[in-house]
Amino acid sequence: MEFFIISTLNGLSYGLLLFMLSSGLTLIFSMMGVLNFAHASFYMLGAYVGYTVSQVVGFWPALLIAPLVVGAMGAAFERVCLRKVHKFGHVPELLVTFGLSYVIFELVQLVWGRLAVQFQPPDALRGPAFTLINHSVSGLNLLWGAAPVELCSSADAAVRVVCSPFPATRGFMMLVALVMLMSVWLLLTRTRIGLVIQAALTHPEMVEALGHNVPRVFMLVFGAGTALAGLAGVIGGSTFLTEPSMAATLGSIIFVVVVVGGMGSLSGAFLASLLIGLIQTFAIAFDVSLGSLATQLGLTLGAAAAGNTLFKMTLSQVAPILPYLFLVLILIFRPRGLLGKREG
């Protein structure tokens, strides 16, 4: 039971990190129609800027400053670069963000080096948020913080006690993602600026005629989207690892998230992130293979088939490619994504 709970929480926290990233991407896409290939690079920038700032002023101010810095960089990029190519259509926009991802990758390596930097979470987040104690006699217990050693061991050999701590960094990651989801949603639906943004998306000329500066709205949206990526970077970088290939590894996954969720759909991105986080975590837990499945169905495999690498491959081994498989299946059977609207 505690395995199921911990795995679910692991999956959810990873999924929520994906959501923090993909929300910015999907926000930019739905508002501006720009598929930002450099989005994961802004995530990486957030981690590195957060690392540098936290060296000077500590982690908590860095959590605020780094997203602002990254957001400002994003806004500047939109102002001087993206806006210029906007009039040439979607392909040049795509290519310019694609090029930017390479530039950021090389710049990060020049500035911070090619190896991982030691970006540690603050002391308050080290150690467990809570501990699940599974006692074979008294059942499952939840204890906030770390559990004392004597609770996790028993003098009686017949009694089995398993303590499963859940790291505070992951709890914090979940908290930030949920707060972010709420505030983005409130901003878009309940505020004046949100209304202007939504209107500028569908009727830019009308909004302009009403006296709003539409290019500036786009710049703000792009800046806000990259700032969200920067925030995810500070949290992801300190929880996992801050190194130059972090953009490449997450970059491909977040595209899966936005396509599966439905291009431009914030709620779709939320659903898809959680799904992919859970799929990846739980796939590791299962040792099912095609061979074992066949045996369970009552089929007897010949020696050649039993020794076949494909038949022997377990689900846990293919876990890393499952999101991409999922992507292909979605594109075949539901091209508009889980919650996407069909383009008119």
Partner 1 sequence: MKFVLHSVAALVVAVCAGSAIAQKGETVKMVRIDALTGLLGPTGINQQKTYQFLADKFSGAGNPAGVKFEMSFIDNKLSPTESLTALKASIDGGVRYIIQGNGSSVALALSDAVTKHNERNPGKEVIYLNDSAVDPDLTNSKCSYWHFRFDADTSMKMEAMSSFMAEQKDIKKVYILGQNYSHGVQVARYTKETLARRRPDIQIVGEDLHPLAQVRDFAPYIAKIKASGADTLVTGNWSSDLSLLVKAANEGGYTGKIFTYYTAATGTPTALGTNGAGRVFQIAGGHYNMGGQMEKWMKEFKAKYNDDLISVQFAHLFTTVGAAMAKAKSTDPVKVAAALSGIDVKSFNGEIQMRKSDHQLQQPLYMTVWQKADAKFPYSPENTGMTLALVKEYPNYVSSTPTSCQMKRP
Positions touching partner 1 (CB under 8 A) are 3, 6-7, 10-11, 14, 114-116, 128, 131, 152, 162-165, 167, 170, 240-241, 243-246, 249, 280-282, 284-285, 287, 316-317, 320
Other CB atoms within a 10 A radius of the CB of residue 235 amount to: 25
Query: What's the min distance (Å) between Cβ of 251 and partner 1?
Result: 14
**What 8-state DSSP symbol labels residue 142?**
E
Q: Calculate the alpha carbon distances from 60 to 50, 68, 100 in Å.
A: 10, 13, 29
24 or 128: whose CB is closer to partner 1?
A: 128
Residues ≥6 apart with Cβ < 8 Å to 225: 24, 25, 27, 28, 36, 39, 74
Quote the CA–CA distance of 22 and 254 in Å, as a whole number: 6
Longest dimension (CA), the chain: 79
86 or 170: whose CB is closer to partner 1?
A: 170
Query: What's the min distance (Å) between Cβ of 155 and partner 1?
Result: 16
Beta-bridge partner residues of 320: none
Query: What's the min distance (Å) between Cβ of 310 and partner 1?
Result: 15
267 or 292: whose CB is closer to partner 1?
A: 292
Query: What's the min distance (Å) between Cβ of 284 and partner 1?
Result: 4
122 or 204: whose CB is closer to partner 1?
A: 122
Query: What's the min distance (Å) between Cβ of 320 and partner 1?
Result: 5
Query: What's the min distance (Å) between Cβ of 319 and partner 1?
Result: 8
26 or 131: whose CB is closer to partner 1?
A: 131
Quote the CA–CA distance of 50 and 291 in Å, as a whole number: 47
Task: Collapse the DSSP code of 101 into the 3-class scheme (helix H, G, I; strand E, B; otherwise coil) and give the result.
Answer: helix
131 or 265: whose CB is closer to partner 1?
A: 131
Q: Which residue has the tokens 């949603």?
A: 185
33 or 113: whose CB is closer to partner 1?
A: 113
72 or 290: whose CB is closer to partner 1?
A: 290
Question: What is the side-by-side order of every strand in the sheet holding 161-167?
Answer: 139-144, 128-135, 161-167
Backbone φ/ψ region at 58: left (φ over 0), alpha (ψ -120 to 50), beta: left
Residues 334, 335, 338, 341: is their CA dihedral positive or negative? negative
Q: Which of 277, 202, 229 is nearest to 23 (CA)?
A: 229
71 or 236: whose CB is closer to partner 1?
A: 236
Residues ≥6 apart with Cβ < 8 Å to 291: 301, 305, 306, 308, 311, 312
Query: What's the min distance (Å) between Cβ of 163 and partner 1?
Result: 5
Query: What's the min distance (Å) between Cβ of 7 and partner 1?
Result: 5
Query: What's the min distance (Å) between Cβ of 114 and partner 1?
Result: 4
**What 8-state DSSP symbol labels residue 191?**
S
